[in-house]
Structure 1
Amino acid sequence: MILAFDTSTPACTVALFAADGSLFASRDEVIGRGHAERLVPLIAEMLDGHLPSQVLVGVGPGSFTGLRIAIAAAQGLAIGWDVPLHGMSSLALLAATAPGDGPVAAALAGGHGELFVQQFRRDHFRSTSDMLNLPASDAASLIEAPLVVGTGAEALVAARGQGEAAPILPSASNALKLPSKLRSLEPKPLYARAPDARPREAA
C-alpha cells in the first residue's frame, strides 16, 4: 500500500492506495494552521492498522511551515516502517485535483503577495511550464490555461482579466494520477524560482 499526504495549503489531505493503485481510503480536512497537531492522528485514523509499503509526501511549493511538518512526519514514518519515501509536486497534485480534463494552471498564494504557479496538460499528465514564484501581474502575462485553480487562482484571473478561477485545495486521493517524474522527487522542500527574464525597468 502507498500512503500519500500533503500539507502545503490549508488542507490536511491524506490517502491510502492499494497495491494495484486503487484508492483504499482518503481524508481531506481544511484546518488552516493546525497541521502539526492533526496530521499524524489523521494518518493513524485512516490507516486503521494497515502498514504502507511506501510513503509519498507533498514537497511544495507552498506553505513553508506546512511543508516542514509534512516532510518531517514522512521521514519519521518511513524510518519507523523501513519503507521508501518519495516527494511529489504539490502544484501537480493541485492540478490533478482540478475538475475537467483540459489545460489547467495551479496557483498558490505565497509570501509578499506573490504566487507559486505552473501550467499542466492532463492528457498524459505533464507540466507545460516552469514552476515559478512571481507577482500576479507578471503571472498574468505567462499563464495561458483558461482554468486556474488554488488559493491564488482568483488573484491571477483578476490580473489577467479572463478565464475561470476555482479556489480549490489539493486532495491526496489524486496522487497516483501524477506521472513518476512528478512523484519521485527528493523528500525535501521544493522552492519555485523567479522567472529568467523580468520586465525591463524604465530608464
Structure 2
Amino acid sequence: MAADGPTRSLVLNGATLGAGSRGDVAAFLGSECVAHERLEGMGATASLASTCQVLFRALGWQQGPHRIIAVTGPGSFTGLRASLALADGLAFGCGATLHGVTTGQCFRAHSAWGESICVTQARRNRIFAELLDGTFWAGAPAELELPAGSRVIGNGVSLLQDTGLVRIDETQPDIGLIFDAGSRMAASGPLQPLYIDAPEAKPPAQGLRPAPLP
C-alpha cells in the first residue's frame, strides 16, 4: 500500500513488438487492472510514451505510478530498447520502483504452468529456451534436448519436433500474468534487456562522421 492510497502499477510488455505481434501497456490500482492498451505493428514502439501519457491523464495519475513492471525479454531489439528505456526513465522521474520479469517467469506465474519451459522464436529458424534452472539456451529447434514429458510454452513451441513434450498452447503471457510475476519480484536498479540475438547495428558505410568544428 502506498502512502496516498492503493499502489499504482504500470505494466509494460514491449518484448514482442514488431511485425505481426503486439505489446501491452496497462495500469493497475492495487491488484485491479483499471486500463489496458494493446499496441500492434512495427510502429507501435513509437507510441509507447504517448500511450502512457494519455493513460495517466485519463486515470488522474498526476504523480505517475508507484511501481513499474516490465518484461525484460527475450525479445526484439527495438521493442525491448523502447519499453525498458521508457520504464527506466519513468521510474527516475516519478520515483517509482522497477520490477523486471522474463517471459518465462510470467508464464510460470500461472498456477498450472509453474514447471513450463518457455520457448521463443528467433530469427533464422532458431529458438531461445528459458530452462527451469534459470539458464538459457539458443540454437536450432532440432538441437534442443529436453526430457520426455517436459512442458513447453511460448511462440517457438510450434518449431519443435514431436519428442514426447507436453505442449501448452499459449504464445504470449497476458497482462495479468505479467502483473502477478512482477509483483513477486524484488525492486531492482535500471532494467537490462534480454535479447534473443545480438543487435545487428552496423557502422556508417563511410566510417564515423568527422568531429564538429569548434
Aligned 1:152-191 pairs, distance under 5 A: 152-156=156-160, 158=161, 160=163, 162-178=165-181, 179-180=184-185, 184=188, 186-191=190-195
- Equivalent residue letter for 1:69: A
Q: Give yes or no for the alignment of 1:36 onto 2:45.
A: yes
Q: CA RMSD in A?
A: 2.9
Instruction: Note the 1:62-73 alignment, pairs <5 A.
Output: 62-73=75-86
Q: What is the Cα deviation at residue 56 of structure 1?
A: 2.0
Query: Equivalents in 1 of 2:180, 2:149: separation in Å?
Result: 19
Q: 1:34, 1:143 → 2: CA distance?
A: 40
Partner of 1:109: 121
Which runs of no fewer than 5 residues in structure 2 stay unpaired? Answer: 1-7, 198-214
- Secondary structure of residue in 1 paired with 2:42: coil
1:86 is matched with: 99
Residue 26 (structure 1) shift: 4.5
* Alignment length (residue pairs): 180
Which structure features the higher share of helix residues? 1
Aligned equivalent of 2:28, options 17, 21, 27: 17
| Amino acid of the structure 2 residue aligned with 1:92 | Q
Q: Which has the higher contact order (CA 8 A, sep 6+)?
A: 1
Output the CA distance in 1 between the equivalents of 2:162 and 2:53: 42
Q: Does 1:8 align with 2:22?
A: no
Report how far residue 3 of structure 1 moved. Answer: 1.2
Percentage identity across aligned positions?
24
Secondary structure at 1:17 match in 2: strand
When normalised by structure 1's length, the TM-score is 0.72
Structure 2 residue matching 1:112: 3-state secondary structure: coil
What amino acid maps onto 1:155 in structure 2?
Answer: L
Question: Residue 207 of structure 2 aligns with which residue?
Answer: none
1:122-146 per-residue CA deviation (whole Å, 9 max, x = no partner) reads xxxxx4452222221122x126565
Counterpart of 1:138 in structure 2 is 143
Q: Using a 3 Å threshold, how does the CA distance of structure 1 residues 74 and 131 change in structure 2: closer, same or farther? A: same
Q: Which of structures 1 and 2 has the bigger CA Rg?
A: 2
| Distance (whole Å) between structure 1 residues aligned to residue 188 and residue 34 of structure 2 | 22
Displacement of 1:16: 2.4
The 1-side partners of 2:15 and 2:76 are apart by 5
2:105, 2:81 → 1: CA distance?
18
Deviation at 1:191, TM superposition (A): 4.2
For residue 96 of structure 1, give the secondary structure of its aligned residue in structure 2. coil
Task: Report SS of the residue matched to 1:14.
Answer: strand
Contact 2:148 2:165 in 1 (8 A): no
Displacement, 1:152? Answer: 0.6
